[in-house]
Amino acid sequence: GESVGLHLPTLSVQEGDNSIINCAYSNSASDYFIWYKQESGKGPQFIIDIRSNMDKRQGQRVTVLLNKTVKHLSLQIAATQPGDSAVYFCAENIAGGFKTIFGAGTRLFVKA
């Protein structure tokens, strides 16, 4: 069936360290993979996406890696800051499709 899952439900890192959030997906037909950040009381916010024909994409302090061989997606956050504390969701979408499928989320705690 459809599923986008995560290896760890919570992650705690020291401020200034790098964070790595992992995600497994099951649909080989997905074309786009997206990371969202959800802070308390808010809706998910788009962070970065990657298309299936790429294996790495960088943004500002964030990098997404895609390994289609093992159906694995990761989000790397450099120099993690207290403002990065939130729940992070990976999501997938089939190109031209109407549905974006979300995983269960990983809660990131940043210790000062």
Partner 1 sequence: ETGVTQSPTHLIKTRGQQVTLRCSSQSGHNTVSWYQQALGQGPQFIFQYYREEENGRGNFPPRFSGLQFPNYSSELNVNALELDDSALYLCASSPPGGSATGKLFFGSGTQLSVL
Binding residues for partner 1 (CB under 8 A):
4, 31-34, 41-46, 49, 89, 91-93, 95-105
Number of C-beta neighbours around residue 77 at 10 A: 22
CA of residue 41 relative to chain centroid, distance: 19
Give the separation between CA 97 and CA 43, rounded to whole angstroms.
22
Task: Give least dist CB 44 to partner 1, A.
Answer: 5
Give whichever of 5 and 16 is closer to partner 1, judged by the CB atom: 5
Task: Give least dist CB 77 to partner 1, A.
Answer: 19
Task: Give least dist CB 73 to partner 1, A.
Answer: 12
Q: Which two tokens stand for residue 29?
A: 């037909």
